[in-house]
A and B are shown apart, each in its own frame.
Chain A
Amino acid sequence: MKQILIIGATSAIANACARLWASQGAVFFLVARNAEKLAQTAADLSSRGAGTVHTYAMDVTHLEAHVAMLSACQEALGRIDIALVAHGTLPDQAACEQDAALALREFNLNATATVGLLTQLANQLESQRGGTLAVITSVAGDRGRPSNYLYGSAKAAVSAFCEGLRARLFKVGVHLIDIRPGFVATPMTQGLPLPALLVAQPEVVAKGILAGIERQTNVLYTPAFWTVIMWVVRSIPSVVFKRMSL
């Protein structure tokens, strides 16, 4: 049975992945802030066929809490087959422009905390010489857009960190997949005026993520059509890009 750690386990995307793993009988260690949501998620996964489901309430921005969480996870699971890092927020860009402290808090949550977690997780997977680190970043990290460059820069930081870490871990048989979803219908995007045709359901994205983990994809755009969209977006020269209102 797969042993799976999920950070941000109450996220809609992570939860859709967890349901697929639950039907295969996986054992879980779930981490998020809200204990009640964690308990409801755990009961759901158990009913769907999961093995033991452990939960652990933690705010990822409490960097000093990471060590205790990871050792509780080590004790509960022993070996980690997959660590899915999914926590995140979508900051209010306009508010972040007026409030540097807010901007830094959001950056801290979406980038610094992730870097802290990945640093320690990497060492653990390195010592077990196997397993997969699955990190959800975003297509938003590919280009800094005026409408959400704080979020985008945090995701870009994590992606660059992941690229280097992947090359390091590759040598010891640990795989790192950088997952870049496009628009997904989740609580995070609820109420945003997104183009309906481009918005995917979390279940669809989850299938893509599981397949990417199986295939040991390095950078996964999901759903797949985002590979094309982002190829185009990345190739727009800055002189043009800065004039666009994206």
Chain B
Amino acid sequence: MSAQSLHSWGHYPPFPQTAHACHWRAELAGTRDALVHRYGSTLAFGNGRSYGDSCLAASDQVLHLRALDRFLHADWSRGVLTAEAGVTLDEILALAIPRGWFLSVTPGTQFVTLGGAIANDVHGKNHHVRGTFGCHVRRLSLLRSQEGRQLCSPDEQADLFAATIGGLGLTGIIEWAEIQLTPIASSQIDCLVERFDTLADFFTLSAELDQQHEFCVAWIDCAATGARSGRGVYLAGDFAPDGGLKVATKAALSVPLTSPLSLINGLSLRVFNEYYWRKHPPTRQHQRSDYMPFFYPLDGVHHWNRIYGPKGFQQYQCLIPDAQAQPAMQALLDAIAASGRGSFLAVLKRCGAVASPGWLSFPAPGTTLALDFPQSRALVETLFPRLNAIVREAGGRLYPAKDAQMIGEDFRRSYPAWQHLEAWRDPALGSRFWTRVTT
């Protein structure tokens, strides 16, 4: 096949990446050097599940590592797995679940690579108890253009390890990593669902339920205005003590083509949100769920990003420190509802105090809000600047993995360790995101 063209998940900003595939670890250094020689720099690309420009190379020439998908070692007695960086989380789960293990931390899609999960130090519904993905990385092998192969762990090359966890792919090419899995007795989840009417109720529920359950997250109606503003559905859960260890079978649905227009608009949004709200019972209910719909509700439809049409979309994910969380969230919701934009799935979650080993890790104690917006000029010119101002004032920050628009000054202020990362950056590597926010 001719060189494949890759995009980020949001298809925005629209800079197609030329893929240079590596199939074997031994090819990495040579391919990287050839790209640097010809184009100045490159960047590792995992599975393109980052929304904005953090997975786009400054040179638009990426090292495509998805084919580095081998396991190096599996110790099923201790749940320690070593795998090449291109292995995806669903491939890990396919092996781990039948043997009674699960990822210690998982993001909301299983189609991310191990390398991508480390580079963005991803978090999941259990951040308040387990911290980030990087907390469960025992060791990794990093290929740097000057020093060659570096083994890094919390005790070996500790600075380079800290720079690499959440290091946005800039410290080197992760060849492989060793991760600690978590034992499970079943692949099913005992969950609890409860509707709430206001943001204040969300915080009350969170204070109560986050202490009792490993997995907690809420959906919030970003289209609701007036008295309905702040309504949502709280979801909490834990692995069930029984129910079998079954790997979910692959999704059958797929959006085959990019829709010519965005299918997300004010009407479809309000209709969906009303339906979703009503679908849930007003009082607390307990249910059993398979792990798949619980952790990965969107993975049931492949290429769902195509419904946003050729212009693509952006996700806005911010974190507001605890002290400011409630008023700032209210202000954000008001601004979003007034704009009539936003999307079906707005997610609210309290992050906890478990510290990440990574310097540029996004989560911190506070509340995070994430939602998608179809790309438009008004979004960039009006709504995002307003949201950015609220986040700035509340001392919050945005998630680089989702970002295509944050202002450099905001980035540098809210990630003060960025200069440490810059000092450890491999000169052979550069991303559009990094150029945008640091220069």
Contact = CB atoms under 8 A, between A and B. Distances in A.
B71 interface: yes
* Secondary structure of the A contact surface, majority rule: helix
Given A189-B1, A192-B1, A196-B1, A43 B73 contact: yes
B201 to A, nearest CB: 47
B2 A193 contact: yes
B70 A43 contact: yes
A47 B24 contact: no
A166 B21 CA distance: 38
A88 to B, nearest CB: 16
A36 B25 CA distance: 10
Contacts of B2: 191-194
A128 B26 CA distance: 39
Contacts of B72: 40, 43-44, 47
A105 interface: no
B250 to A, nearest CB: 11
Interface residues of A, number: 21
The CB with the most chain A CB atoms within 10 A, among B3, B24, B83, is that of: B24
Interface string B50-91: 000000000000000000001111100000010100000000
A185 B24 CA distance: 15
B28 to A, nearest CB: 13
A3 interface: no
Interface of A: 12, 36-37, 40-41, 43-44, 46-49, 185, 187, 189-194, 196, 199
Nearest to B23: A187
A37 B24 contact: yes
Contacts of A194: 1-2
A121 B210 CA distance: 63
A44 B70 contact: yes
A36 to B, nearest CB: 6
Given A47-B95, A191-B1, A191-B2, 7 more contacts: A36-B26, A40-B72, A41-B70, A43-B70, A43-B72, A189-B1, A192-B2
16 contacts: A40-B72, A41-B70, A43-B71, A43-B72, A44-B70, A46-B74, A47-B73, A47-B74, A47-B83, A187-B23, A190-B21, A191-B2, A191-B3, A193-B2, A194-B1, A199-B1
Interface residues of B, number: 16
Contacts of B3: 191
A40 B70 contact: yes
Contacts of A196: 1
A44 B72 CA distance: 6
Nearest to A199: B1
A48 B1 contact: no
A36 B72 CA distance: 13
A130 to B, nearest CB: 31
A133 B270 CA distance: 61
A12 B22 CA distance: 12
Highest count of chain A CB atoms <10 Å: which of B1, B26, B83: B1
Contacts of A44: 70-72
A18 to B, nearest CB: 11
Contacts of A12: 23
A189 B21 CA distance: 12
Contacts of B1: 185, 189-194, 196, 199
Nearest to A196: B1
Nearest to A44: B70
Contacts of B70: 40-41, 43-44
Contacts of A185: 1
A235 to B, nearest CB: 28
A49 B74 CA distance: 9
A194 to B, nearest CB: 5
- Can you list the 3 inter-chain pairs with the closest CB atoms, starting with the nearest? A47-B71, A44-B70, A47-B74
A198 to B, nearest CB: 10
Residue from B23, B81, B95 having most chain A Cβ neighbours under 10 A: B23
B24 A40 contact: yes
A36 B3 CA distance: 27
Nearest to A183: B1
Contacts of A193: 1-2
Contacts of B83: 47
A214 B28 CA distance: 38
Interface string B22-45: 011110000000000000000000
A49 B3 CA distance: 34
B71 A48 contact: yes
B254 to A, nearest CB: 14
A127 B83 CA distance: 41
A44 B83 CA distance: 9
A196 B26 CA distance: 28
A143 to B, nearest CB: 22
Interface string B400-439: 0000000000000000000000000000000000000000
B5 to A, nearest CB: 11
A11 to B, nearest CB: 11
Contacts of B23: 12, 187
B432 to A, nearest CB: 25
Contacts of B95: 47-49
B16 to A, nearest CB: 15
A189 B1 CA distance: 6
Contacts of B73: 43, 47
Contacts of A199: 1
Nearest to A43: B72
B114 to A, nearest CB: 13
A199 B72 CA distance: 29
A199 B83 CA distance: 27
